[in-house]
Structure 1
Amino acid sequence: MTTFSEPAVREAEGGSGRTPPDHTGLPHQSEPPREYGPVNHERGDVYVEERLSPLAAREANRAAVLNLLDAVDVKAFAVRGTSDHGTVVAVAEEDRERVLSVLFRGLGQYPGQLSVIDPDAPRPARPVSSRDPRAWHDVAGAPALQVSWYRTDPEQRLLLGHEYGCAIEFWRSHGSHLVAPRPNRVTWAVPADGAAVPGAARLFSRFVSDWTPRDQAPPVETRPEFLVNTADDITFPIDAVYTWVDGNDPAWQRRKAEAKGEVYHTESASDARFISRDELRYSVRSLHLFAPWIRNIYIVTDDQVPEWLREDVPGIRIATHREIFRDPADLPTFNSHSIESQLHHIEGLSEHFLYFNDDMFMGRPVAPHAFFTPSGTARYFPSRNRIPQGPVAETDTPVDAACKNNRALLQERFGRVITQPMEHIPYAIRRSAMEEAERDFPEAWARTSASRFRAMTDLSPTSSFALYYAALTGRAQPGSMPFTYLHLSVPDLADRLQRLLDGRDQDSFCLNDAFSTPEDIEVQQELLDGFLTSYFPTPSPYEK
């Protein structure tokens, strides 16, 4: 297997791994250090943690800080900070001495990172190892401090740092109130003698929703003033839908061989379109790592179940073609356009959902606001390409033919001309828009559903038509997102994958394939195995 070099390892400088954190967020005291190689980061110690995720690191850092504060009987309450990655807790200014004392002891026993927060500084201060005396120079008068423990997975592929730390704000007494030292999302002041109340975790980070499991994001102790739904909160459920096929399945291959219908274009029945490279497993991992706000995941298949999938775990379900197709005569089908035309028939599917091909991935923590506005408007991502002019021609690719069909119907209905296809970014869809589009264009929709292979008459229901239909009916608007589209047949595939891994600076990326030969596929698979396990090392709860 190809080994990709990792930032967590390349930047490390000698030393041995420390023990995994326990439920308090601090390392175990009873276990000896485990040797995992060089995991002392250039800015301090790194702790090894099983089942690592950004949310797990965030919650562990918060729990560790609260555990220290509890040890000296300092009362703290959660604040709705302006960063979604980390957490914020408030303490009274009068407790500063006890807070600093217990932090000094705790960070002495389990070295971590510390930074002084100055709301008026032009840029945030860099974190400093708590081993370094300079970390403690300005803490006596700091409005707030950020504390963290760097964490990595056992294979040192993922490094989660200071951005997932816990900030401690020192709120000053002013009359009968405590006043915040810097802005937050709700209020500058709370009553000094106010009661503590439990607050849902999703109020304190946009990366969490009411459907994130409580063991991953438990309620926090806060003040009543923070228990409000603000104008920029997303409170509606968002599901994820995948279409997936295992093209190596002999039963599926027989169905495909027996299917009737003329294949008009080499891409239409290319075996590369149906290969399962295990991308789905890693795409689901990307949701677990970077979009824990997803409510339910639906995997649409032709009576197939990925061998790694646990079907007994809540939050994920197989939806078969037989379940969602309104006309059984349209089955079997080997046309993604046909399958996509029926997705809105999934039982229990939310009004707002993201549609993924199995080669699409989240690349870093992404809030639902990247795909929907708080009022429910979907965001779509127009491509830099343009739809070719003129009617459908025999020389058109399947993609261009479908775009032209989309354009003709929408122009007839709304008097508007669409000029751009969509980028390969997860498609934010309103279920109601698909339902209405099917009612408005029953013949074109039925024709697409009945096409067993891609045909000149197809629409592209999810990747374009439903998005523009939603926009033209006031339910979608254009957006932008850092993303990468990478075709697996490029000659410098290894270098491009390494740059993507090194940067980890894309909200989403797509690893697409359509024309690879069997010889190409073998080489690509070795590269993909190394890349995907390095980028997404933590199994999702849905894996056996």
Structure 2
Amino acid sequence: MPVGARRGIVRKVPAPLRSAVKSSFTSVDAIRSATVVWAMGGRRNGPRHSAASMRRVVRVKGRHVHALMVEGATAWAAQARNLHILVATLEAGGIEYFCIRGAAKDVPTVAVPAGLRESAEQMLQIAFAQTPGYVGTASASESDMRPGEDDKSWRQLRRHDALRVAWYVTDPTQELVFGADQGCDLEFWTEDEGRLVAPRPNRVVEEVPADAPRHTVPQALFALVPGSYSTGTAQTVAEFTQPLAEDHLFPIDVVYTWVDDSDPRWSAERDAARAGRPGAPPQALHDQAANDARFTSRDELRYSLRSLHQYAPWVRTVYLVTAGQVPAWLDTDAPGIRVVDHREIFSEAGALPTFNSHAIESQLHHIEGLSEHFLYLNDDVFFGRPLGAERFFHTNGLTKFFQSKALIPSGPADTEDLPVNAAGKNSRALIERSFGTRIAQKMKHTPHPLRRSILADIELVYADEHRRTQHSRFRSPEDVPIASSLHHYYGFHTGRTTVGNIRYQYIDLAADQARRRLDNLLAHRNFDTFCLNDTVEHPDPDAQERMVRNFLDAYFPVPSRFERVDQDEYCAVGGAGKAEIRR
């Protein structure tokens, strides 16, 4: 757009108002970049730079766009920043507005009376001229977004009453770009006989009195932001101040089980347990019950926590269940993290030490302070893109479970069975005994939505099997998979769980196609969750280590707030990578 044309638009606005909007925007951009993107990304004490020095030109869907480069960038923080900038710009220009629960559930939406549209566009053009951003229709793809400072963009969108505005953000590696998907919608409501009428349906009300009183509420009511962070305030009307039946009003925690296989004390205890009591023959174990691959750690936990922080900000507290171990990089003083020792939760101390995930999972509901609803993850499970709590829990409290196409083999459990198959058979036998129905499907390797009350009931109803599982130091043909199978089917038969759907991928790292599948996953980023699993030892563990590490570094470049990170080392990689929007 010619410079003269842009100046013509800006000159329509009185100079004092132009200055106020520019000043407000500059302040908002600096504050939100630091407070929302940096601090919420976990980098509270990092280097600060001017917005101009942090701008980058990145490639998105085949075209180049302007983006602000910030350490600790996350999808939800970028969206919170967009909402704050939009609201602050309208307020600085004296434009009447109110936030609503819009048509797109995960997109913050702001309504402006249609009679004020020209003024709102002028204010936003000033803001976009100050820091480049983009505007398009509410349904626009990345390729359809247009420069927000360009008067032509607004003229071409004049017939649309619902727009998407976004100031793009990228991380220092430029592996991630947060654009239109993390933008905000701007709706223009027409006035009809003293009422403002929405241009499209929303989830609460389609018209309000034009003179409806405005209420000041936290912006977090309209943008998904962790509860421990402040995001400022915004104006709305009474109808949009209350939570909806579709909102998750109960806390949701996450539990990880983790082990450091390089710890010599832990390794000695495992080897001693494998050998059995002095003078007694070693315990007979299936090859996959205690092989080294089952315990191998490549810092997957670090990256799984990054995925959680990046894509599931609605989680309240993360509990890390360990055998008295703590990762060296973990900041145990960070808000929202707590390390739990096995000794704190096992009901019978004689069952320890244990090297059996089934045994550890049987005790998770004993964690002090754990919420009724929580997700259980192994450290090799990752969130692949932004997800809402509704993927795992209904708002009325019912949990969901995700059945695999893989079937539990027929017949009773046998010593020759793979441990996972023996466990599935045992779970099936208990359900048949209690309810007379036959379960056939295994579960996907995803986060497991669980309820403490269901786990507590299982401990009482199946006391013998529960105790036997707790005391099994390695995976045994008698194990019951309490958290990963029995909980879901027992809850289903008692009216507390239901079948859900999730798009996930399971990658066996020892498979010939592992590298190709990892490359595809990185290129498209189109799965809700994925699991990188080891069941057998790889012939070239060093090559496998490099393959996995390179993938995880590229997929999750942004440190979480739970890490002790050398900020200078992280910032040094800025500009080295190729940025691309991936779904």
TM-score by length of 1: 0.90
Which residue, 164, 174, 179 being the options, matches 1:156? 174
Deviation at 1:144, TM superposition (A): 2.3
- Equivalent residue for 1:535? 555
- Equivalent residue for 1:14? none
Counterpart secondary structure, 1:365: coil
Deviation at 1:131, TM superposition (A): 6.1
Determine if the alignment matches structure 1 residue 194 to structure 2 residue 212.
yes
Q: Which runs of 4+ in 1 moved over 6 A?
A: 26-29
Structure 2, unaligned stretches of length 5 or more? Answer: 1-27, 38-47, 277-281, 565-583
Determine if the alignment matches structure 1 residue 516 to structure 2 residue 537.
yes
Pair 1:192–1:125, CA change in 2 (3 A): farther
Which residue, 199, 203, 220 being the options, matches 1:181? 199
Counterpart secondary structure, 2:288: helix
- Rounded to whole Å, the distance in 1 between the matches of 2:271 and 2:232 is 51
- Equivalent residue for 2:262? 248
CA RMSD of superposed structures (Å):
2.4
Worse-superposed segment, 491-500 or 362-371: 491-500
Deviation at 1:506, TM superposition (A): 0.5
Pair 1:194–1:156, CA change in 2 (3 A): same
Which residue, 188, 213, 229 being the options, matches 2:228? 213
Counterpart secondary structure, 2:208: strand
Deviation at 1:76, TM superposition (A): 2.0
Structure 1, unaligned stretches of length 5 or more? Answer: 1-19
- Equivalent residue for 2:242? 228
The 5 Å alignment of 1:374-385 reads 374-385=395-406
Determine if the alignment matches structure 1 residue 270 to structure 2 residue 291.
yes
- Rounded to whole Å, the distance in 1 between the matches of 2:233 and 2:56 is 33
- Rounded to whole Å, the distance in 2 between the matches of 1:93 and 1:221 is 17
- Rounded to whole Å, the distance in 1 between the matches of 2:390 and 2:58 is 38
Determine if the alignment matches structure 1 residue 369 to structure 2 residue 414.
no
Counterpart secondary structure, 2:443: coil
Determine if the alignment matches structure 1 residue 358 to structure 2 residue 366.
no
Deviation at 1:203, TM superposition (A): 3.9
Counterpart secondary structure, 2:353: coil
- Rounded to whole Å, the distance in 1 between the matches of 2:51 and 2:149 is 22
2:252 partner amino acid: I
1:170 partner amino acid: F
Deviation at 1:183, TM superposition (A): 1.3
Deviation at 1:242, TM superposition (A): 0.4
- Rounded to whole Å, the distance in 2 between the matches of 1:191 and 1:25 is 36
Q: Deviations over 1:425-449 (max 9, x none)?
A: 1111111111001100100000000
Deviation at 1:124, TM superposition (A): 11
2:30 partner amino acid: D
Pair 1:37–1:185, CA change in 2 (3 A): closer
- Rounded to whole Å, the distance in 2 between the matches of 1:242 and 1:198 is 38
Counterpart secondary structure, 1:385: strand
- Rounded to whole Å, the distance in 2 between the matches of 1:224 and 1:72 is 23
Counterpart secondary structure, 1:366: coil
Deviation at 1:125, TM superposition (A): 9.2
1:276 partner amino acid: S
Which residue, 302, 317, 335 being the options, matches 1:296? 317
- Equivalent residue for 1:13? none
Counterpart secondary structure, 1:305: coil
Deviation at 1:371, TM superposition (A): 0.6
Deviation at 1:303, TM superposition (A): 0.3
Determine if the alignment matches structure 1 residue 344 to structure 2 residue 365.
yes
- Equivalent residue for 2:21? none
- Rounded to whole Å, the distance in 2 between the matches of 1:80 and 1:424 is 34
Deviation at 1:530, TM superposition (A): 1.4
Q: Indicate conservation of the 8 Å contact 1:363/1:509, yes or no.
A: yes
Q: Deviations over 1:80-107 (max 9, x none)?
A: 1132443111112221121111222222
Q: Indicate conservation of the 8 Å contact 1:427/1:463, yes or no.
A: yes
Determine if the alignment matches structure 1 residue 499 to structure 2 residue 507.
no
Aligned-residue identity in percent: 41
- Rounded to whole Å, the distance in 1 between the matches of 2:481 and 2:218 is 39
Determine if the alignment matches structure 1 residue 316 to structure 2 residue 337.
yes
Pair 1:86–1:246, CA change in 2 (3 A): same
Which residue, 412, 421, 424 being the options, matches 2:442? 421
Deviation at 1:25, TM superposition (A): 5.8
- Rounded to whole Å, the distance in 2 between the matches of 1:525 and 1:221 is 51
Counterpart secondary structure, 1:89: strand
2:227 partner amino acid: T
Pair 1:536–1:21, CA change in 2 (3 A): farther
- Equivalent residue for 1:87? 108
Pair 1:264–1:24, CA change in 2 (3 A): closer
- Rounded to whole Å, the distance in 1 between the matches of 2:516 and 2:145 is 31
Q: Indicate conservation of the 8 Å contact 2:256/2:376, yes or no.
A: yes
Deviation at 1:29, TM superposition (A): 10
Which residue, 65, 74, 95 being the options, matches 1:74? 95
The 5 Å alignment of 1:454-493 reads 454-493=475-514
- Rounded to whole Å, the distance in 1 between the matches of 2:512 and 2:150 is 46
Which residue, 460, 469, 472 being the options, matches 1:439? 460
Counterpart secondary structure, 2:377: strand
- Equivalent residue for 1:16? none
Q: Indicate conservation of the 8 Å contact 1:355/1:428, yes or no.
A: yes
Q: Indicate conservation of the 8 Å contact 2:373/2:449, yes or no.
A: yes
Q: Indicate conservation of the 8 Å contact 2:435/2:493, yes or no.
A: yes
- Rounded to whole Å, the distance in 2 between the matches of 1:435 and 1:520 is 43
Q: Indicate conservation of the 8 Å contact 1:24/1:67, yes or no.
A: no
2:298 partner amino acid: R
- Rounded to whole Å, the distance in 2 between the matches of 1:114 and 1:43 is 15
Q: Number of aligned pairs?
A: 517
